[in-house]
Structure 1
Amino acid sequence: MFHYTVETDKSMEEAIKSLETNLKDDKFGVLWQFDIQETLQKKGFDFNQPYQVLEVCNPAEAKRVLSENQLVGYFLPCKIVVYHDKETEKVKIGMPKPTALIEMVNDESLKEFTADIENRLITCIDQSV
């Protein structure tokens, strides 16, 4: 599976706040928070599903991996989504797995690095539930 997703009983705001705290504790920062619902509605589209995309980065790790392979920049910063699932009526937190994305670069030397980043982000997500 190319993604990791969990459900939470928290509100969107609570989940995002918790996620930001856990990411910060692991030296990841939220560079940008994109509110898809608000943006689409401003553009005149009827989209009523709360959906946030957080772009997160650990600067030291980004420098390290970009120094080894510049193509990895196509996947940076990492994205974590927080949204209200219409089917389950639950808030979900998820991300594309870095290990799945790195397969597109075809660089065996980066597999261990991306597995570490993926595990750290999964831990942050799990702690935010």
Structure 2
Amino acid sequence: MSIAISTALQSSFADAVTRTREALAGQGFGVLTEIDMKATLKAKLDQDMENYLILGACNPPLAHRAVDIDRQIGLLLPCNVVVRTDPDDDTRVLVEAMNPQLLVQVTGDPALQEVADEVTAKLRAAIQALGPTSG
């Protein structure tokens, strides 16, 4: 099982971030957290890297259902979506969403399968709305 649902875009990083936020919103996800890895590593370690943004996406109704099934599932929420410049091709931006099927695999709780399937479908739809998909 792949850990990501992903696509590669030929766009600017800023455009990819905007489009990703819009695609997530179109599937009922809000962005609760944002971690700019490039800025953080530069500020904390004086290390340079390509653009790399982690968006913590949450679909409240689905998150609520998951937490009702297993209170510890919050340790695996929100769903991380990474928007990053391809280190091998600076004209490409990679958008990768965490594969929600990992929630079932990690917890071993089959009761989470239905929720994971719905989250997977919504994240796939968001990623597919951006362009060609792999993974």
Give the structure-1-normalised TM-score.
0.92
Please tell me whether the aligned partners of residues 72 and 102 of structure 1 are also in contact (alpha carbons under 8 angstroms). no
**Structure 1, unpaired ranges of 5+:** none
Shift of 1:71: 2.1
Between the aligned partners of 2:121 and 2:12, the Cα distance in structure 1 is: 24
Gapped runs of 5+ residues in structure 2?
none
8 Å CA contact 2:104–2:110 kept in 1: the answer is no
* CA–CA separation in structure 2 for the residues paired with 1:63 and 1:40: 33
Task: Number of aligned residue pairs: give it.
Answer: 129
Cα contact 1:71–1:105 (8 A) shared by 2? no
Q: Write the distance in 2 (CA, Å) between the matches of 1:47 and 1:125.
A: 27
Identity among equivalent positions (%) equals 26
Instruction: Write the deviation string for residues 84-106 of structure 1: whole angstroms up to 9, x where unpaired.
Output: 11113311000221102321101
Aligned residue runs from structure 1 range 93-112, under 5 A: 93-112=95-114
Deviation at 1:44, TM superposition (A): 3.2
Consecutive aligned runs of 4 or more in structure 1 exceeding 6 Å deviation:
none
Report the TM-score, using the length of structure 2 for normalisation: 0.88
* CA–CA distance in structure 1, aligned partners of residues 8 and 19 of structure 2: 14
Report 1:5-84 matches (<5 A): 5-84=6-85
Equivalents in 1 of 2:130, 2:34: separation in Å? Answer: 17
The corresponding residue for 1:4 is 5
